[in-house]
Structure 1
């Protein structure tokens, strides 16, 4: 006979080991998820029911669940309950080549899509003016997109370019670099800065993960063959979906 999720909690109650109770319960919930007793998108029993079945306090249940939410295994929806988070395939991204999201996904056989968050021409900020080398009175084109692969939101990209380079952001299709290639402005090199950050509520909602979940923030400046900076992009990548890989070579003495 197959076990139910309630059976898992009962077994946990009858086999107390060492360590804090919330860690033992966390392992039991994780086992139920990993074994498929509750699949992606399915709801866990209520906090009260888990506490009664596992014979622990609701405070213990809450602490165990909070840790699993932070790990991206569970997600909480206000007014609805606690659910198993959608599992997305991990994407290995090279830091050695300058390619677009669309090109990266195509190489992996994944269907790339975008949800537009912002697209237009604006007065530049002081930072944009300095980094992009804008002259007096020049405008900046901004595009912001939620990047999606096979239906899973993976990243948020927010890019700024001189309006002389991209006068009509509305003409950008699935790939910004394909558009820049058409006008002879495709970058040939880039500098990237990577930092680990916790997601704020708005970005977490877009990426369908819990607020505070781990993510990678990448700031990229790209250059034309002439050495001019053509693009400033700040992106947020889901920490549970991306592995960034760089090839290193030993420098000869």
Structure 2
């Protein structure tokens, strides 16, 4: 596979004996610089989600560094779920279409059984429209106040029970043509749709959690009364190089589900 991936020496990296030379002592370790070059290629779309990247030997020759340096860079990217190693096959760009990645950002689990038994959520799209971003939302998405955004409100129904009501904001410039029908009917995960249809891959997210009570509209959508406590989850999801691409505010019922996170 050919690509326009820059050579390590084109970016000021020197690799004699795999040590960084030159007069600038602030250089990061060489494998970190190679990691940065691979990230540049991922961001530029040189290798699409699900595609195999060149071998360690090919990348070592391209960047003029040792194979061990490339391996260390790839190890970090794999640990961050950006790349996926497959024994005997090679290294692939991770994708939300992979089942083990699909639920990476979903922390709400059923109290009985598991996600496989429960099956995928039914997505009821309440609205999908263009709007001018308010200052608070634009600040989180790092765009100017008043920027054109797409605002989606939807309800996720698990096993016939409305469980999550979500408000999602996306930059219109990156998701042109997004429609309620597309959000509702796409057969896979929403983040997989963003990858396939818009070339935007969410690679990490930050969340804030608190307990809240629903307003009347939210209570009606979730079929609960206004005194039912809910878990409020605000998530900012980022693509490569920490560019925020989605703000998601969800209210979760916790009478049949619980929020689960593994710390290590």
The alignment's TM-score, normalised by the length of structure 1, stands at: 0.54
2:213 to 189, 194, 198: 198
Greater radius of gyration (CA): 1
- Following superposition, the deviation at residue 169 of structure 1 comes to 2.5
Q: Contact (CA 8 Å) 1:198, 1:214: kept in 2 or not?
A: yes
Aligned to 1:207: 222
1:226 match: secondary structure: helix
In structure 1, C-alpha distance between the alignment counterparts of 2:218 and 2:211, rounded to whole Å: 14
The alignment's TM-score, normalised by the length of structure 2, stands at: 0.52
1:108 paired with 2:126, answer no
1:164 match: secondary structure: helix
1:152 paired with 2:161, answer yes
Runs of 5+ unmatched residues, structure 1 = 1-95
1:221 match: secondary structure: strand
| Equivalent runs, 1:111-130 vs 2, <5 Å | 111-130=120-139
1:98 to 76, 98, 105: 105
Aligned to 1:178: 192
In structure 2, C-alpha distance between the alignment counterparts of 1:177 and 1:228, rounded to whole Å: 15
- Following superposition, the deviation at residue 107 of structure 1 comes to 2.9
- Following superposition, the deviation at residue 111 of structure 1 comes to 4.3
Cα deviations across residues 184-207 of structure 1 (Å, max 9, x unaligned)?
A: 212111011110112222211111
- Following superposition, the deviation at residue 106 of structure 1 comes to 5.9
Cα deviations across residues 136-175 of structure 1 (Å, max 9, x unaligned)?
A: 7731011110111222101101100100121223032344
- Following superposition, the deviation at residue 99 of structure 1 comes to 4.5
Q: Contact (CA 8 Å) 1:200, 1:212: kept in 2 or not?
A: no
Q: Contact (CA 8 Å) 2:213, 2:227: kept in 1 or not?
A: yes
Cα deviations across residues 99-144 of structure 1 (Å, max 9, x unaligned)?
A: 498xxx8633424212212201111111222221224773101111
> Compared with structure 1, are the counterparts of its residues 126 and 135 closer, same or farther at alpha carbon in structure 2 (3 Å cutoff)?
closer
Q: Contact (CA 8 Å) 2:123, 2:154: kept in 1 or not?
A: yes
Runs of 5+ unmatched residues, structure 2 = 1-102, 109-113
RMSD value over aligned CA atoms? 2.4
